[in-house]
Amino acid sequence: MLANFSLQSALDEQRQKDLYRQLTPIRHGVTPTIDIDGKTYVNFASNDYLGLATDPQLVQAFSQAAKTIHQVGSGASHLITGHTLWHEQLDTTLAQVTGYERALTFSTGYMANVGVIQALCGKDSVIFSDKLNHASIVDGAILSRAKVMRFGHRNYSQLEQLLSQSSAKQKLIVTDHIFSMDGTIADLDALHALATRYECALMVDDAHGFGLPYQAYKKAQPQADIYIGTFGKAIGTSGAFVAGSSELIDYVTNFSRSFIYTTAMPPVLASVTKTSIAMSHTDTLRSDQLLANIKQLSQGLLQQNWQVGIDNQIPTTAIIPVVIGNNDRTLQLANALKSRGFWVSAIRPPTVPVGTARLRFCVSARHSEQQISDLLAVMQTLK
């Protein structure tokens, strides 16, 4: 019991609203299958979009790196003695693949978003943020003490109105590229044009795009001034980075608290991440398969008349939401899918707006055509 902290009543309230969450220990696997409590499920809940997390070549690279580097923890934060040759090589590779002047690795995407926004913005800045941006962007904005102006999801005419009314000197537009609960895509051309017209900086979080055919950067001409990519999804490892001008990276190195005051990621992880980036950027077989799988599942769901996505747009990314609305019904459907051998997330408020609870299917290149048609057959029975 913590005096005056009413933890139990808050938990009870979560239960009443069908929002109570618990951890599920997973024995093995990411995609296409996972083992839980001795049972195997086809996993449609993971961000391992290319199936690299369990790729034999990558697992081999991991154990080889462990033998060569012979060091588990980095032992310190980057600016003390934690920044090893492998971190430096990873940063160089990231600058090369993205086409930015420099890049800097963080331990997680959450920390990258929080740390970059906190470093750049202060109480005299204004942050223009898409209403569906990831929690780490929201938290970074709160931590920065800047004024935050939210615009409707991909509502760029509303954004323009807000920009035209703002007299702030320091303005930052920030957006997810692929929205994590909706699978929708930000219009970076429109945002780039607005950023130029209203003299704002543009920051794009490409957590769900980096390493995939629809990633946000165009190497020759970066649209975003500040690019965030993560490794825990298509890259199949863990960690994240910010890419931008040399000046930006120098600034973040000096002022970003979640970069400065934390232990650097293990050097083996930096090394294997570099290998994985090379694999994801050179071998198109996996990404071609991913695109085919996205098409098979999204078209199948649309044919069955599920509400796919908020605005019934045909999904083109690996995140395919089926909006149910009611929390209870969403949980029932997720449980029915589980009992038939499919692991799918029931996403509920506060992660998504009230009344838009959904099943969120994440497709991987490792799913077979059969696994997807089996899933569709089960979905048909649940209609």
Interface residues toward ligand PMP, by CB under 6 A: 108-110, 113, 134, 136, 176, 180, 205, 207-208, 230, 232, 240
> Least distance from C-beta 180 to ligand PMP, angstroms?
4
Residue type at 281? H
Q: Which is nearer to ligand PMP, 74 or 230 (CB)?
A: 230
Q: Which is nearer to ligand PMP, 207 or 310 (CB)?
A: 207
Q: Which is nearer to ligand PMP, 86 or 110 (CB)?
A: 110
Using the 8-state DSSP alphabet, how is residue 127 labeled? E
Task: Give the dihedral of Cα atoms 326, 329, 331, 337; nearest 10 deg.
Answer: -140
Task: Give the dihedral of Cα atoms 356, 331, 316, 219; nearest 10 deg.
Answer: 90
> Least distance from C-beta 137 to ligand PMP, angstroms?
7
Query: Which residue sits closest to ligand PMP, CB atoms considered?
Result: 109
CB 179 within 8 Å of CB 129: no
Helix (H) or strand (E) holding 292: helix 284-303
**Token pair for 6:** 């009413």
CB neighbours of residue 59 within 10 Å:
14
Task: Give the dihedral of Cα atoms 275, 223, 189, 132; nearest 10 deg.
Answer: 70
**Token pair for 13:** 């309230």
Q: Which is nearer to ligand PMP, 134 or 300 (CB)?
A: 134
> Least distance from C-beta 23 to ligand PMP, angstroms?
16
Q: Which is nearer to ligand PMP, 222 or 229 (CB)?
A: 229
> Least distance from C-beta 82 to ligand PMP, angstroms?
18
Helix (H) or strand (E) holding 95: helix 85-98
> Least distance from C-beta 232 to ligand PMP, angstroms?
4
> Least distance from C-beta 381 to ligand PMP, angstroms?
31
Q: Which is nearer to ligand PMP, 108 or 330 (CB)?
A: 108
Residues 6+ apart with CB under 8 A from 22: none
